[in-house]
Structure 1
Amino acid sequence: MSALEPRDADVAPIRETAGPTLADGSVLDRGHRALSIGIVSVVLLIAFEATAVGTAMPVAARELHGIPLYAFAFSAYFTTSLFGMVLAGQWSDRAGPLAALTTGMSAFAAGLLLSGTAGTMWLFILGRAVQGLGGGLVIVALYVVVSRAYSEHLRPAIMAAFAAAWVVPSVVGPLASGTITEHLGWRWVFLGIPALVAFPLALALPEIRRTASGPADPAAPVPPYDRRRIRLALALSVGAGLLQYATQDLRWLSLLPAAAGAALLVPAALGLLPRGTYRAVRGLPSVVLLRGISAGSFIAAESFVPLMLVTERGLSPTLAGLSLAVGGATWALGSYVQSRPWTEPYRERLVVVGMLLVAAAIATAPTVLIHSVPVWIVAVAWAFGCLGMGLVIASTSVLLLKLSAPEEAGANSAALQISDGLSNVILLAVGGAAFAALGGGALGHGVAG
């Protein structure tokens, strides 16, 4: 029996058919070309934001006197995106992904503008929170578009295209961000991106309206919003925020918000994720769990590596970005490998290999604090970790859609992204606590000097 086959009636079997899709061909044939370019352009924009902002963040935190709050700038994004994911899942299953995607991109741009004009670190963090809400809406809506508009054998290819859209931003983004930060100021990294939102929307929205709008089954009655899931999503977001706050304020009184956060977060997560996720039940639950473990641990570690390169190793923002830039290409390579038809029978093995590479990269990351270890060793390890992430992220996405009925694509995609984002929030909270306990504020003076 396969590790991903169901072992009880509570787990949906692998779906061999999808909802209404365009005729089979390729992701760039006449029927798919405009849609593929449009949604990949959306991913390209998000990729530029993620890679560019990460490099500028240490300088922004220093200038706003917010180095001790550094982890909040990342966790605020992930925390609010959790709520956005659940909302987008229900919204997309009921009415199609069009409205969720449009609203998400608008919020994403608004958050960038707010952070770029912030005068204090808390206002900067608020902008990141608005941006996260938009990002949560967008990512789930895109998965629903893939589920509805692409046949099962084309999904690995479009997932590989999503990963490929990160290559140029991963190389150019950190370098451009570092250069802009050094010569024009970090604010322009945030303020320049919203101007690019109109182009991908103009390409994607008409095609989504044509091929993936409305409910999955127009003949079926539209289900009402599941208010219980919305409440659980709100509890999850608030709980994650309280947990993050508690780990940044290392006093005995911090146990109160930590306990309140855990009391909200744990039951909410159990209610929002597929039953059996934390028991690694075969089928959809194990896919969701693997996604959370891999993405959460890797992204949480990656959030602090540029900061350590700048503050502990004395690299400029440009060099810190360059040291991690190769990872974008290896991530895309891993995603490309999983998209090849000959790899389909070995998809589970690809996930295992990817997880091993990710674990090795994370284990190597702390050596950035050891001055006798050359920086290039960390960079090479991170490149192999990104290769593993390319295998794991794309494969778990393909498996999720294969295990989902068309009318469940939104809710299940939301569960996958919740597992991803929740792991990020929890691990960033732990990392932020360790950073604050070890004297994060002192590091800020090192940057300034």
Structure 2
Amino acid sequence: MSGSETGVEAGIWDRERRWVTLGAIALIFLAAIEALAVTTVMPVVSAALDGDALYAAAFAGTLATSVIGMVASGAASDARGPRGALYVAVTLFLVGLVVSGAAFSMQQFLLGRLIQGLGAGGQTVALYVVVARLYPPHLHGRVFAAFAAAWVVPSMVGPFLAGAIADYLDWRWAFLGVAVLTAAAFALIAVRLRGVDLGGGEPSSRRVVVSRLVLAVLVAVAAVVVGFSADAPPGIGWPVAGAAVVVIALAIRPLLPAGTLRAARGLPSVVLMRGIVAGAFFAAEAYIPYLLMERFGFTATLSGIALTFSAFAWAGASALQGRYGERLGNRRITALSLGLILIALLAVLATAVLGASPAIVVIGWAFAGGGMGLVYPRLTVLTLAYSDASNQGFNSSALSISDSGGSAVAIAVAGLGVATLGGGAAAFGVVFAFAIGLTLIGTIPGFRLGHGAERP
């Protein structure tokens, strides 16, 4: 690269990479706006569309279909480079936003969320491959720290603005507004990526690609079934959900590195830990605004404050990880991150069950954001450290599949628990206790991460 030729260390903002960096950050920024907005306004949406029973499915469905997008994007990126996969993914994301924003029934809203998932999943994998192809390994930590920093502005205004839109305008604009921004940014990004060499690779056989897509569809359908089981009587919902989880476990194994489900040392543990911590965090966060609105009478605007503080902490911790991650080491990062998440979950659990001050939720949830900010980008760096040009798409896809699959199942199971108990303190307590259990399980792969090729 030019930096090495001139004797100056290349960076993520040098002339050869600056527009790619900017375009990737713009996509992360828009994804952050959408994610924070949905979490904040979902209690309002479910009430407006009479869809309380499908509250969890609105989250789980998007995460489930993202698995399909991830597999397709990973295969396309390995075969032809990530540009085409990225363009298709962003288009699907945009279409899903419009369908959700225009919904007049919970079923139509869920359809839009399913389309969004296809785009969001494909976009994530394609961006990871872009980073792997264009940036040397020593810059990967900085790139993913910059991605985390792209959450800063959304975290400052996203939850509060989404809540204000729902309170004073219409919840639909929380989706349609992001769609307008996505269309504008996509036009700019497409121009900036034109002519940039994103490389190619060796395409997998058609049989392998088709089989992986079939398995991804099975995972997605089973995860959606878990989400919809909350709308059935508990005597039917729990057995159906249990059977669907078994299907997910069987179908997802070939989509992940060998040994992932038994926490084999190295890349398998990296991928497994991503799914576990994502499941714990997002299953709990999906019910933070719900808790504040139902138990403490918060408006949608005020309930977004808890997510704002958490997102700030996430971005700040990610920046620290990007700068000091090598010095801290993976074992310390694991211990610190899981410890912070546990502190947050215990604080929220105590508030939900004992009726303590809601300020504990707002402040406590920031600790969870800090924990995620430390561990999330680190796991991505490690995934690329264990990868080469022949499997960057597969490994990036596996990491994202574990992320979304773990989140989808955890949120759906939490939603089934809430539906069974009918809401109230006990229901919220079950959600947060479940997240605590998942976090403790995360210590198993967390101390088996290894280092890959991140160190010379």
- TM-score scaled to structure 1, two decimals? 0.88
Aligned to 1:116: 101
Which stretch of the first structure deviates more once superposed, 146-155 or 252-261? 252-261
Aligned to 1:309: 292
Aligned to 2:84: 99
Aligned to 1:200: 185
Q: Which runs of 5+ in 1 are unaligned?
A: 1-19, 444-449
Question: What do you get for the CA RMSD once the two structures are aligned?
Answer: 2.3
Aligned to 1:273: 256
Q: Where in structure 2 are the equivalents of 1:226-375 lying within 5 Å? A: 226-254=209-237, 257-258=240-241, 260-340=243-323, 343-344=326-327, 346-370=329-353, 372-375=355-358
Aligned to 1:406: 389
CA 1:77–1:149: 2 relative to 1, 3 Å: same
What is the deviation of 1:376?
1.6
1:102-135: CA deviation from partner (whole Å, max 9, x where unpaired) = 1111111111111111111111111111111110
How far apart, CA to CA, are the structure 1 residues paired with 2:397 and 2:254? 13
Aligned to 1:387: 370
SS in 1 for 2:391: helix
User: Which of the numbers 183, 188, 193 marks the counterpart of 2:168?
Assistant: 183
Aligned to 1:431: 414
What is the deviation of 1:54?
1.5
User: Which of the numbers 11, 28, 33 marks the counterpart of 1:43?
Assistant: 28
Aligned to 1:3: none
What is the deviation of 1:402?
0.6
Matched, 1:157 2:132: no
Aligned to 1:57: 42
Q: Does the Cα contact within 8 Å between 2:306 and 2:366 map onto a contact in 1?
A: no
How far apart, CA to CA, are the structure 1 residues paired with 2:423 and 2:110? 17
How far apart, CA to CA, are the structure 1 residues paired with 2:203 and 2:411? 41
SS in 1 for 2:286: helix
How far apart, CA to CA, are the structure 1 residues paired with 2:30 and 2:173? 16
How far apart, CA to CA, are the structure 1 residues paired with 2:21 and 2:418? 41
Which stretch of the first structure deviates more once superposed, 325-334 or 337-346? 337-346
Q: Does the Cα contact within 8 Å between 1:145 and 1:212 map onto a contact in 2?
A: no
Which stretch of the first structure deviates more once superposed, 187-196 or 393-402? 187-196
Letter in 1 for 2:189: A
How far apart, CA to CA, are the structure 2 residues paired with 1:376 and 1:319? 11
Q: Does the Cα contact within 8 Å between 1:242 and 1:260 map onto a contact in 2?
A: no
SS in 1 for 2:287: helix
Aligned to 2:18: 33
Q: Does the Cα contact within 8 Å between 1:305 and 1:368 map onto a contact in 2?
A: no
What is the deviation of 1:191?
1.1
Matched, 1:129 2:129: no
What is the deviation of 1:221?
6.7
How far apart, CA to CA, are the structure 1 residues paired with 2:314 and 2:195? 32
How far apart, CA to CA, are the structure 1 residues paired with 2:263 and 2:2? 31
Q: Does the Cα contact within 8 Å between 1:79 and 1:240 map onto a contact in 2?
A: yes
Letter in 1 for 2:101: G
How far apart, CA to CA, are the structure 2 residues paired with 1:22 and 1:71? 48
What is the deviation of 1:46?
0.7
User: Which of the numbers 379, 386, 410 marks the counterpart of 1:396?
Assistant: 379
Matched, 1:140 2:135: no
How far apart, CA to CA, are the structure 1 residues paired with 2:425 and 2:52? 9
How far apart, CA to CA, are the structure 1 residues paired with 2:137 and 2:168? 47
1:329-354: CA deviation from partner (whole Å, max 9, x where unpaired) = 11111111111157356244223311
How far apart, CA to CA, are the structure 2 residues paired with 1:298 and 1:228? 31
How far apart, CA to CA, are the structure 2 residues paired with 1:415 and 1:215? 19
Aligned to 1:13: none
CA 1:47–1:261: 2 relative to 1, 3 Å: same
Aligned to 1:90: 75
What is the deviation of 1:240?
1.3
SS in 2 for 1:210: coil
What is the deviation of 1:439?
1.6
1:72-103: CA deviation from partner (whole Å, max 9, x where unpaired) = 11111111111111111111111111111111
Figure out how many residues of one structure are paired with residues of the other and give that number: 421
SS in 2 for 1:312: helix
Q: Does the Cα contact within 8 Å between 1:337 and 1:343 map onto a contact in 2?
A: no
What is the deviation of 1:22?
8.6
CA 1:345–1:185: 2 relative to 1, 3 Å: closer
Q: Does the Cα contact within 8 Å between 2:79 and 2:203 map onto a contact in 1?
A: no
Which stretch of the first structure deviates more once superposed, 156-165 or 360-369? 360-369
Aligned to 2:450: none
Q: Does the Cα contact within 8 Å between 2:46 and 2:106 map onto a contact in 1?
A: yes
Matched, 1:170 2:155: yes
How far apart, CA to CA, are the structure 2 residues paired with 1:131 and 1:80? 8
How far apart, CA to CA, are the structure 1 residues paired with 2:401 and 2:107? 25
How far apart, CA to CA, are the structure 1 residues paired with 2:124 and 2:391? 16
Letter in 1 for 2:142: A
CA 1:152–1:325: 2 relative to 1, 3 Å: same
How far apart, CA to CA, are the structure 1 residues paired with 2:153 and 2:270? 29
How far apart, CA to CA, are the structure 1 residues paired with 2:282 and 2:292? 16
CA 1:302–1:383: 2 relative to 1, 3 Å: same
Q: Percent identity?
A: 40
Letter in 2 for 1:377: I
What is the deviation of 1:312?
1.3
How far apart, CA to CA, are the structure 2 residues paired with 1:296 and 1:337? 23
How far apart, CA to CA, are the structure 2 residues paired with 1:291 and 1:222? 25
Letter in 2 for 1:53: V
SS in 2 for 1:154: helix
1:246-290: CA deviation from partner (whole Å, max 9, x where unpaired) = 244234333563354234312111121111112211111010011
